């Protein structure tokens, strides 16, 4: 009877247009030639309706995936009688008749179109593996075990897959088209919105979405103006994190350095700190680990230092000494002055113990472009140096060499800069430099916080984990 197959799990192939459906047989109507499935799946996706009905005219292929045991089921008087048979090849090629159902329907040409139940037969006696598994099923012994009946779940796991129809390709594009991406993300956004409203009602933080670099434990807003000065230099900068760094006039900067020296931060300590920090910046500008490697000894970078007979010149010589220690080819230009500051003499003595070169004439400098020029010609105290011939000649050589220039602690000049610098390194706090295309950087020279307070500066370090940071115009 047709009702004997109720509850069986079947797969119905309706062609490329309608696709493939799977579900549990809920009814078979012989008179109307229809079959209904409950809890159906369409192309592997659960259908939104609880039941679907198919006409025999639309069915291309029907396969039973899980047939209910009809031996213990009472026959029902409802429905029409269905009958069919298929041939399954045994171990020795013998034919066995297995009773299976089929439904007949009348087509538009008055011919019958059966719903065919297909099963692929085992490979026969030539395949020893298939024969062994068929014997195990016949004897009712579990795969790998002995003496116990095979459970249905084990049968699904360990059978040879002879009943699988592998001729039909899976429709990936059709299955993907069933996924409504917009609806899923809309549902996710709605869930997050409800959660945000719930948390807001409980008095928690309003913003629940954070970037990867935000602190979720932050309980108060950040004060971006953490440095205040009694005398403003007229220009402000900001760091990458948004902290405001004001510029200071040279007079206040000079009093800050004097206070630091009284507290023990002597000139020699500052020169060493400035030399290390400026050297680290120069190494980064030269290419860092991509350029300075033991395998790249034939392409060592060349750096030219232009220094004067003052503290700024001593800072540059300290930087050149550290660069030479890092296997950089350094050429120091320092004219033979009649009088130089003691700090310059001490730095020249240390520099002479390195592999760096020292020249006193511009004729001895390279005529071809070098990798980097470091400008330390300017002096905050003596502005007349700019008018001397050696200074102008050195500035002309730097501008004509076509090499990028790094200026360390340049003097404030409201009119012009004689050497066009690509980078400018300020110390402690920036000075109100001339508006140029130079990128301004700030160097931490180790001045304690209480020393800033002695000169009336409220100070919080903007450096974070670095000793040299870039500054940007707001």
- pLDDT score recorded for residue 285: 94
Which residues lie closer than 8 Å to 430 by C-beta, 6 or more apart?
233, 235, 237, 245, 247, 248, 440, 442, 471
Residuewise pLDDT in 10s, the chain (474 residues): 567 778 888 899 998 888 899 999 898 888 888 889 998 999 888 898 989 898 888 898 888 887 665 444 444 333 333 333 333 333 333 333 333 334 333 333 333 334 433 333 344 444 444 444 444 444 444 444 444 555 566 665 665 555 555 566 777 877 777 777 788 888 787 765 565 555 555 554 455 577 777 666 656 677 789 999 998 888 899 999 999 999 999 999 999 999 999 999 999 999 999 999 999 999 999 998 888 888 777 788 999 999 999 999 999 999 999 999 999 999 999 988 768 889 999 999 999 999 999 999 999 999 999 999 999 998 888 878 888 899 999 999 999 998 999 999 988 865 567 888 999 999 999 998 877 778 999 999 999 999 999 999 999 999 999 999 999 988
- pLDDT score recorded for residue 88: 32
Greatest alpha-carbon span in the chain: 126
* Rg of the Cα atoms in the chain: 44
Query: Has residue 126 been placed in a domain?
Result: no
At how many degrees (to 10) do helices 267-285 and 250-262 cross?
120
Same structural domain, 97 and 242: no
Q: Taken in order 273, 278, 279, 284, is the CA torsion positive or negative?
A: positive
Q: Taken in order 287, 288, 289, 292, is the CA torsion positive or negative?
A: positive
The residue among 101, 121, 141 that closes a domain is 121
The residue among 105, 121, 137 that closes a domain is 121
CATH for 247: 3.40.50.10260
Query: Has residue 87 been placed in a domain?
Result: yes
Query: Has residue 432 been placed in a domain?
Result: yes
- pLDDT score recorded for residue 297: 72
Closest to 307 in 3D by CA, of 321, 288, 289, 296: 321
Q: What backbone phi and psi angles, to 5 degrees, belong to 249?
A: -65, 160
Residue 102 belongs to domain spanning:
2-121
Q: Which two tokens stand for residue 310?
A: 């003052």
The residue among 98, 121, 144 that closes a domain is 121
In sequence order, what E strands does 191-263 have?
Answer: 236-238, 244-246
Torsion of CA 175, 180, 184, 187, to 10 degrees: -140
Query: Has residue 376 been placed in a domain?
Result: yes
Element (H, E) at 25: strand 20-29
CA distance 270 to 267: 5
Query: Has residue 159 been placed in a domain?
Result: no
CATH for 46: 2.30.30.100
If one counts the domains in the chain, the total is 2
- pLDDT score recorded for residue 474: 80
Query: Has residue 428 been placed in a domain?
Result: yes
Which residues lie closer than 8 Å to 197 by C-beta, 6 or more apart?
none
CA distance 388 to 226: 42
- pLDDT score recorded for residue 141: 44
Same structural domain, 338 and 463: yes
Q: For the chain, percent helix, then strand, then coil, each to nearest 5?
A: 30, 20, 50
Same structural domain, 260 and 405: yes
Same structural domain, 258 and 115: no
Q: How far is CA 164 from the centre of its chain?
A: 43
Closest to 102 in 3D by CA, of 115, 119, 90: 115
Q: How far is CA 29 from the centre of its chain?
A: 59
Query: Has residue 186 been placed in a domain?
Result: no
Query: Has residue 425 been placed in a domain?
Result: yes
- pLDDT score recorded for residue 56: 86
- pLDDT score recorded for residue 161: 54
User: By the 8 A CB rule, do 243 and 462 touch?
Assistant: yes
- pLDDT score recorded for residue 157: 64
Same structural domain, 103 and 240: no
User: By the 8 A CB rule, do 11 and 63 touch?
Assistant: yes
Q: Which two tokens stand for residue 212?
A: 């990867």
- pLDDT score recorded for residue 295: 79
How would you classify the pairing of strands 20-29 and 45-46? unpaired
């Amino acid at each position: 009877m047709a009702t004997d197959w109720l509850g069986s799990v079947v797969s119905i192939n309706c062609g490329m247009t309608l696709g493939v459906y799977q579900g549990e047989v809920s009814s078979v109507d012989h008179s109307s030639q229809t079959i209904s499935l409950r809890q159906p799946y369409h192309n592997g996706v659960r259908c939104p309706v609880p039941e679907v009905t198919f006409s025999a005219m639309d069915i291309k292929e029907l396969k039973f995936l899980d047939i209910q045991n009809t031996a213990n089921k009472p026959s029902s008087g409802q429905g029409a009688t269905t009958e069919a048979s298929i041939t399954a090849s045994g171990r020795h090629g013998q034919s066995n008749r297995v009773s299976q159902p089929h439904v007949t329907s009348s087509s538009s040409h008055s011919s019958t179109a059966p719903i065919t139940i297909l099963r692929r037969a085992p490979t026969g006696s030539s395949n020893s593996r298939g024969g062994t598994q068929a014997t195990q099923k016949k004897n009712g012994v579990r795969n790998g075990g002995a003496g116990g009946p095979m459970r249905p779940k084990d049968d699904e796991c360990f059978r040879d897959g002879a009943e699988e129809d592998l001729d039909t390709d899976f429709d990936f594009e059709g299955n993907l088209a069933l996924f409504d991406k917009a609806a899923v993300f809309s549902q996710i956004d709605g869930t997050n919105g409800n959660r945000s409203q719930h948390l807001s009602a409980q008095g928690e933080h309003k913003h629940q979405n954070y970037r990867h670099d935000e602190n979720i434990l932050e309980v108060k807003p950040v004060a971006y103006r953490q440095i205040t000065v009694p005398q403003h230099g007229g220009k402000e900068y900001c760091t990458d994190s948004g902290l405001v760094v004001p510029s200071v006039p040279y007079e206040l900067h000079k009093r800050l350095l004097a206070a630091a020296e009284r507290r023990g931060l002597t000139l020699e300590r500052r020169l060493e700190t400035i030399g290390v920090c400026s050297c680290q910046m120069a190494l980064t500008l030269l290419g860092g680990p991509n350029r300075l490697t033991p395998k790249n000894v034939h392409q060592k970078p060349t750096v030219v230092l232009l220094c004067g007979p003052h503290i700024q010149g001593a800072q540059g010589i300290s930087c050149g000494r550290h660069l030479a220690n890092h296997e950089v080819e350094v050429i120091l230009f320092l004219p033979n002055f009649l009088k130089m500051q003691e700090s310059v003499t001490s730095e020249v003595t240390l520099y002479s113990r390195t592999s760096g070169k020292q020249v006193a004439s511009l004729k001895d400098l390279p005529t071809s472009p070098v990798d980097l020029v470091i400008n330390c010609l300017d002096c905050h105290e003596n502005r007349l140096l700019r008018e001397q011939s050696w200074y102008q000649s050195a500035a002309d050589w730097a501008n004509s060499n076509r090499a990028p220039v790094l200026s360390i602690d340049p003097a404030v000049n409201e009119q012009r800069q004689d050497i066009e610098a690509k980078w400018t390194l300020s110390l402690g706090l920036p000075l109100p430099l001339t508006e140029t295309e130079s990128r301004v950087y700030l160097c931490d020279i180790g001045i304690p916080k209480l020393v800033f307070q002695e000169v009336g500066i409220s100070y919080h370090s903007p450096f974070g984990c670095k000793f040299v940071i870039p500054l940007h115009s707001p």
